[in-house]
Amino acid sequence: MLKKLDWYTIKTYFGPFIFIFSVLFFIFMVQFAWQEMEKFAGKGLDMVTIFELLFYLGLSVVQLVMPLTILLAAIMTFGGFGERYELAAMKSTGISLGRIMLPLFIMVSLLSVGLYYFSDYVVPKSQQKARNMLINIARTKPAVNFEPGVFVMGIPGFSMKVGDKSGDDGQFVEDVFIHKDVNAFENQQTIVASRGIFEPAEDQRFLRLSLFEGYFYEDEIHNKSREVLKRQPFRQIKFDTMVQYIDVSALVEKAIEDEKVTDHYKFMNSKDLVNRIDTLKMNDSITYVKMFDERYQTLLPRYYMLDSVSQHQTEAIPLPNLEEVKEEDRISIYKSAIAEVERDKTFYNATKSEISGRNKNKARHVLVLVRNYSNALMCIAFFLIGAPLGAIIRKGGVGMPVVVAIIIFILFYLVYMYTENLAKNGELDPYWASWSPVIVFFPMGLYFTYKAMTDSDIFDIESYIKPFRKLFAIFGTKKKEHARYQ
């Protein structure tokens, strides 16, 4: 049963906790929005839609904000207890530091469980919601995809570029350049217009673009000889108004299909991820066995030939003596061997790329799955680091606690991102990468807790130098005694 002292500790802790979480969440969201805003701002989207989209995309920052909040709030709370001599008063009544930390440890454990369920259910849903919003924006506002001065390759059959665009939805464009995507042996078509307007077509499968004051260029080269092309004049048509219908049915169908996609690993909870990882492992095993069998059947005829008596018996082919072979045949053998080696290298590189791609895909699934658990445990690890450090530092407020918390969090973030990138590149096992922050910082938290409970001053440099001084003193004494007897 909680006592008044426990309620006081919890109340003192959750005051800074709520304030710090709000500030950090705002800071992380602003940083995220600053990075992503240029993709949406000024492209015909209203601010409500932009902020809603950024909110759904940025909910994942809670996974990093929560551990940092727990760390900083713990340092500030226990640092304030030490600075106001409340911690000394508690200990003078016979209450140990571990007992003072116990109610907050229980609360932080509950928060870590809540973070796990948040990462497992809320974050995947928010990512899926953000993806659907992006797809709907691409369908309803095609002009959003057009960046002034940049060629757009996403429209089937065309490469387009606009110099500038304006309007509420970016429907008014200037300096339009359209080129039909064909090969070098088909008719070439290019349209250049000073301005244009995107308008909704009667059929949603098409995009209507009205062009004004431009030129239509065409070069007919299909099924024509070189001599005919030399004499053929270049066609140029000037127009005041031209309506171009662009078939975007493939984009619409793809958007509808993508909108129904729910099996992306970012949209899955732990149960679905476990099933998907097992399926990937099974599929990889079947694929690797099939690849090995195919390669074995390809390499076998090079070194063995089947016996005419039994198809299951093999006989080694004797190697020729190259010194007894004619020079023409020797060159042919060399070329054949080089060709075989090149084919083996090509197969090896292709196999390596396929295996690497499969491993990277599986690693991303594992990282999302295991990070849900490791991020939750990091809340406990950071509390075990922050509370003892606050008791040792004995400084409250936002001065020294903030500096210490930022240093620790930077170290955590470096380990977090470095191991994650190694795992995504296939250079580190994803399970080790996911658990590496816990492996590094959990023992650190236990060490700080032990030092604080035994009233050890871990920031006293003299306590770390003293053993080395004793060691140097021993060797220094022996050296002096040896010199004396010389």
Task: Give residue-wise pLDDT tens across range 172-201.
Answer: 788 888 887 766 667 777 888 888 887 766
Rounded mean pLDDT of the chain?
76
What is the band of 30 on the pLDDT scale with cuts at 50, 70, 90? confident
Tell me what pLDDT residue 262 has: 54
480 residue type, one letter: K
The end-to-end CA distance of the chain, in Å, is: 74
- Cα distances (Å, whole numbers) of residue 385 to 331, 372, 445: 71, 20, 4
Q: What is the pLDDT of residue 320?
A: 60
Report the percent of the chain where pLDDT is more than 90. Answer: 9
- The Cα–Cα gap between 77 and 306 comes to 81
Is the separation of the CB atoms in 25 and 65 below 8 Å? yes
User: Between 230 and 409, where is the model more confident?
Assistant: 409
| Alpha carbon distance 107, 115 (integer Å) | 12
Whether residue 398 has pLDDT greater than 80: no
* The pLDDT of residue 141: 57
Q: Which of 47-56, 186-195, 292-301, 311-320 bottoms out in mean pLDDT, i.e. has the lowest?
A: 311-320
Q: What percent of the chain has pLDDT over 70?
A: 69
What pLDDT, on the 0 to 100 scale, is given for residue 325? 65
Q: Exposed, middle or buried: residue 225 (CB in 10 Å: 0-12, 13-18, 19+)?
A: exposed
Residue 152 has phi, psi (to 5 degrees) of -105, 120
| Measured CA angle at 403 (ends 400, 404), to 5 deg | 85
Residues 6+ apart with CB under 8 A from 2: 10, 103
Structure tokens at 63: 């996974």
**Distance from C-alpha of 381 to C-alpha of 447, rounded to nearest angstrom:** 11
Could you tell me the pLDDT band of residue 159, with boundaries at 50, 70 and 90?
confident
User: What is the token pair recorded at 468?
Assistant: 């080395």
| 182, 210 contact by CB (below 8 A) | no
320 phi and psi angles, rounded to 5 deg: -75, 150
The string over 256-293, giving b where at least 16 C-beta atoms fall within 10 Å of a residue's C-beta and e elsewhere, is: eeeeeeeeebebbbbebbeebbeebeeebeeeeeeeee
Q: Is the pLDDT reported for residue 255 higher than 50?
A: no
Token pair for 140: 């309803």
- What average pLDDT does range 1-13 have in this prediction? 82
pLDDT at 466 over 70: no
| Maximum distance among all Cα pairs of the chain, rounded to whole angstroms | 111
Q: Which of 77-86, 287-296, 345-354, 383-392 has the lowest mean pLDDT?
A: 287-296
pLDDT value at residue 308: 40
Structure tokens at 456: 């050890």
Sequence-distant (≥ 6) Cβ neighbours of residue 185 within 8 angstroms: 221, 222
> Which SS3 state, helix, strand or coil, does residue 264 take?
coil
- Strand intervals (E) in 181-234: 188-200, 206-219
Vertex 253 angle, CA 249 and 255, to 5°: 115
Helix boundaries (H) for 169-269: 226-231, 249-259
Q: How far apart are CA 7 and CA 100, in angstroms?
A: 11
pLDDT tens digit string along 135-145? 666 555 555 55
Q: Which token pair is 159? A: 């490469």
Q: Is 397's pLDDT higher than 60?
A: yes
Residue 256's SS3 state is: helix
Task: Note the pLDDT of residue 435.
Answer: 92
402 to 19, 88, 100, 436: CA distances (angstroms): 14, 23, 22, 24
Mean pLDDT of all residues in 209-238: 75
Residue 44 pLDDT more than 70?
A: no
- Amino acid identity of residue 47, one-letter, is M
Query: Alpha carbon 17 to chain centroid distance?
Result: 28
For residue 343, what are its two tokens? 């084919």
What is the Cα–Cα distance from 72 to 408, expressed in whole angstroms? 10
| Per-residue pLDDT tens digits for 262-310 | 557 777 888 888 888 888 888 877 777 777 776 666 665 555 444 444 4
Q: What's the pLDDT score for residue 146?
A: 64
Q: Which residue has the tokens 């797809």?
A: 135
Taking residues 97-125, report their average pLDDT. Answer: 90
